Each structure stands twice: as structure tokens, then as C-alpha cells.
Amino acid sequence: MQKFMDWMERYIVPVASKIGAQRHLVAIRDGFATIMPLMIVGSFGLLIHNFPIDSVKAMFGEGGALHWLDVIALNVYAGSMFLMGLFAAISIGYALGKSYDVDGFSTGLVTMASSLILTNMMAYKAPVTWGGFDLGTVGWEPGIFAKWLGSAGLVTILITTLITGTLFAKIVKSGKLNITLPDGVPPAVARSFSALLPTAVVLVLVGIVFAICEAFGYADVYLHVYNGIAKPLMVFSNSLPVLLFIILLQQVLWFFGLHGSNILAPVINGIFLALTAENMAAIAAGNTEGINIINSQFLDSYVNLGGSGLTAALVIVMMFKSKSQVNKQIRNVAGGPAFFNINEPLIFGLPIVLNPIYIIPFIAAPLVSACIAYAASVAGFVAPASAVVPWTCPPIISAWLATGQWQGAAVALVNILVGVLIYLPFVMYADKKNLELEVAEA
């Protein structure tokens, strides 16, 4: 064990630390964290539309007493979660700009405009009517295929945002194209003029890229990126082996004191969150086919119960089996936060970090729980998670809200009970050692 820990600390931990501090990955993580309230509110709008109780859901339909509430809920969903790609372009661009010490808002606007340029807006010709007369199709009318502003276009938007945001920030930082105004000019006006030429350079370059794509028959950039990169990547990620690898990597990073959830957030948000968004879009359209079992909410509902490592089970075992004073004190401090999936007091206070006693259950419990939940979903016992629930939502309740079924809560409860069995012998052994030390010191 010591040789393995030494090897990890020498070769893996430094690489993971660099990845966790890489500005583009940090921008993706922070950008998604910024728009998370929009996605959560949009998810609750969809939950109302797809209410788990049939008698109440019928009241939301056409002619129902609560149909007006369904209209509100669906429009809230459409105006928030359905446009997550567009919001991500702004928020990630903002975070990337701030990391380069340039104006974040200007960077976010440039990355959003760049993403819109590639949507081929001018390809749509609109029919024109006036006074009841059909005037035919007159010129170009800007139009956007809204699907590309949601999860389907997320990969294209992420690539575009990272490239154009970096380019814009570096041009601004160089100062070669900045227009400097006198000191008496209001700051907002000075910033806008300073960003004028860098903005023009970036947007023109994006326009040139689109023109080249169109010349070679790839005018619908989003469609080709989706079919060539995004969809195969999502299909590959929507598998149990990939999920288990992500969980294993997350737990190993935590064990060495690195925030595994934050380091892997770009992957989880960029791919697994898109799978959740696909589920939501399918549910909103009344379609139950092609629903993704594995997605970001699958992790929060069935795996990260009490926090990474299924530590809700660890707290329960400590509540009933701890006899040493140190374990009792840690249990009392960590019990409350664990109810809301905050487990840093346990990870760093128990500690779990670099503790060879806890590495086995800390890794095994979430892996086993993922397999149980996956099997229950494949068997049709529970529907796949199709709503984004706040990660601080208490375990069991989170699974019920994410699936809209009591079966989701039941699977989460089973996972916690199995986690208790996995943690039990290790907690008892560690508690016994602590008790012997306390007796010896006394």
C-alpha cells in the first residue's frame, strides 16, 4: 500500500493538480456553476409538466384546471434549461476572460456572438405576409435552429467559446489593437472602445471559418460536429464501464486530498449534463424512447449520497458504532453537512485522505451503488433521472425528484444500506484503534 501511495504522489497527484488548475477547465467548471440555478429552475418547470401523480398531471393538460400552470412551467423550462448552450457560451467566456485579467463581460459577449455566427442564421428564408396578402419569400431573415442552443450544440459551443475567448483575451492583453480614450471618458464607454477592434478581429475570423465550411459543403457546422464528435462521445460515455472509471478516478483524487468533483466537473458537466438535458428534452416532447440511463443526475441521485464516496452510509455507521471520543466528535460535526451532501469535514477531519483503512470502502461503496442503480434502471424498475436537482438536496429525496418516482427513492435507500454494510467493518476497526489509543493515553 505504501509503495502504491508513493507512486501516486510522485506521478499522478502532480498531473491531477495541474489539470485542476488549468484555466480552460476551470472556466468550464465555473461557467457551468454560474448557470446551474437556471438549469435547476428549468428542471422544476419540467417536473411540474411531468408531475409524478397521474391525477394531478391530468389537471395540467388541455382544458384542465391547472393548465395555466403547465404553460408557465414549460415556458420557464424553454427559457432556461433548453438554452443552456447559449448561457454556457456567455458564462464560460466570462470566466475565461477573468482568468486572463480582461473584461469578463466583453469576453462573454464575444464568445456568445461567435457561437451564434456558426449557427448559419442567414440560411433561413422567411415567408412574408402583410394585410392578409402572401408576399412570398423576401430576402434573408435571421433564424436559429433552437436545438443547437441547448445540449445538442454544447460541444460546438464549448470548442468555439474556448478558442474565441482565448483569442480575444490575448489580443486585448497585448494592447496592440486597443483604442485608448482620455481619462474623462466614462469607464463603460472606455471599455467598449478598448474591446472594439479585438471583437472585430475575432468575429470576422469566425465568419471566415464559417464561409470556408460552407464552401466545402459543411454549412451546418453544429450538425456535423454533433454527428461526428458530440453524439459518439455521448454514446461512449453513456455506458457503465465509463461511469465506473469516472467514479474510480474521482475517489482516488479525493483520497490524495484533491477535490475530485471539481477536477472532473468539466467532463461531468460537458458530457453527462448534456445527457441529462437530452432526457429533459425528450420528456418535454412526450417521448420516452432513447432516454439516457447514465447522466449527471444519476451520480447525484444514486452515487454521491452524502457526498463523494457515499459518505451518508459512513455517517450512519459512525452514529451507531462509534465508541471512541474522536469518532464521536467528528460524527457530531460531520452529520449535519452530510445530510446536504457536504462531506469535507469527514474527508479531511476523520480523515479519509491518505488513510489506508478507509480507501477500500471509500472506493467500493460508490462503485457498487452505481452498479445497483444501473441494474435497476436497465431492468425497468426505475425510470432514468430526467431532471436537474440541486446537489445539496438530501439523499433519497434527490432521487425521487430526479426520477419523479418513489422507485428512485427506494434505489437510493438500498444503496445507502449497502454502503452501511461496506463501511461497517472498516469503521469498527478504525474506531477500535482510536479507542485503544485513548485508553493508552488515559
Detail the DSSP E strand segments found in 6-132.
Answer: 127-130
More confident residue, 57 or 235: 235
Q: Given a cut of 90, is residue 92 above it in pLDDT?
A: yes
| The predicted structure's pLDDT at residue 140 | 53
Confidence of residue 130 (pLDDT cuts 50, 70, 90): low
| The predicted structure's pLDDT at residue 352 | 85
| The predicted structure's pLDDT at residue 159 | 92
Q: Are residues 89 and 160 in the same domain?
A: yes
Domain count within the chain: 2
Confidence of residue 372 (pLDDT cuts 50, 70, 90): very high
Q: Are residues 229 and 250 in the same domain?
A: no
| Cα–Cα distance for residue pair 141/290, rounded to 1 Å | 34
Report which listed range, 217-226, 305-314, 411-420, is most confident: 411-420
| The predicted structure's pLDDT at residue 218 | 84
Residue 3 lies in a domain: no
| The predicted structure's pLDDT at residue 262 | 76
Residue 2 lies in a domain: no
Residue 82 lies in a domain: yes
| The predicted structure's pLDDT at residue 152 | 80
Q: Are residues 385 and 279 in the same domain?
A: yes
| The predicted structure's pLDDT at residue 288 | 63
For the chain, percent helix, then strand, then coil, each to nearest 5? 70, 0, 25
User: Span 434-438, mean pLDDT?
Assistant: 81
| Cα–Cα distance for residue pair 30/109, rounded to 1 Å | 17
- From 116, 270, 80, select the one nearest 203 (Cα to Cα): 116
Residue 15 lies in a domain: no
| The predicted structure's pLDDT at residue 202 | 94
| The predicted structure's pLDDT at residue 6 | 65
| The predicted structure's pLDDT at residue 112 | 94
Q: Are residues 315 and 341 in the same domain?
A: yes
More confident residue, 63 or 215: 215
What nine digits make up the cell of 70? 403547465
| Cβ(140)–Cβ(125) below 8 Å | yes
Q: Given a cut of 60, is residue 127 above it in pLDDT?
A: no
Residue 416 lies in a domain: yes
| The predicted structure's pLDDT at residue 96 | 93
User: Span 241-249, mean pLDDT?
Assistant: 91
Range with the poorest average pLDDT among 202-206, 272-276, 408-412: 272-276
Q: Are residues 232 and 289 in the same domain?
A: no
| Cα–Cα distance for residue pair 32/89, rounded to 1 Å | 10
The residue type found at 374 is Y
More confident residue, 53 or 237: 237
pLDDT tens-place string over residues 131-190 = 555 555 555 555 677 778 887 888 899 999 999 999 999 998 888 877 776 666 666 666
At a CB cut-off of 8 Å and minimum separation 6, what does 35 contact? 84, 87, 88, 91
Q: Are residues 220 and 245 in the same domain?
A: no
Q: Given a cut of 80, is residue 14 above it in pLDDT?
A: no
Q: Given a cut of 80, is residue 8 above it in pLDDT?
A: no
**Burial (Cβ within 10 Å: 0-12, 13-18, ≥19) of residue 197:** middle
Q: Please say which residue of 176, 202, 237 terminates a domain.
A: 237
Q: Phi and psi dihedrals of 168, rounded to 5?
A: -60, -45
Residue 7 lies in a domain: no
Range with the poorest average pLDDT among 23-32, 73-82, 196-205, 312-321: 73-82
DSSP state of 333: H
Residue 14 lies in a domain: no
What nine digits make up the cell of 308? 463523494
Residue 18 lies in a domain: no
Q: What does the mean pLDDT of the chain come to?
A: 82
At a CB cut-off of 8 Å and minimum separation 6, what does 295 contact? 238, 272, 273, 275, 276, 278, 279, 384, 385
| The predicted structure's pLDDT at residue 47 | 75
Q: Are residues 88 and 149 in the same domain?
A: yes
Q: Please say which residue of 237, 264, 294 terminates a domain.
A: 237
| The predicted structure's pLDDT at residue 367 | 95
| The predicted structure's pLDDT at residue 133 | 58
> 268: helix, coil or strand?
helix
Q: Are residues 226 and 329 in the same domain?
A: no
Confidence of residue 423 (pLDDT cuts 50, 70, 90): very high
The range of the structural domain enclosing residue 200 comes to 23-127+137-237
Q: Given a cut of 90, is residue 332 above it in pLDDT?
A: no
Q: Are residues 192 and 301 in the same domain?
A: no
Q: Are residues 268 and 242 in the same domain?
A: yes
Looking from the CA of 264 toward its CB, the CA atoms found within 13 Å total 21
Q: Are residues 288 and 259 in the same domain?
A: yes
Q: Are residues 399 and 332 in the same domain?
A: yes
Confidence of residue 321 (pLDDT cuts 50, 70, 90): confident
Q: Please say which residue of 210, 237, 264 terminates a domain.
A: 237
Confidence of residue 411 (pLDDT cuts 50, 70, 90): very high
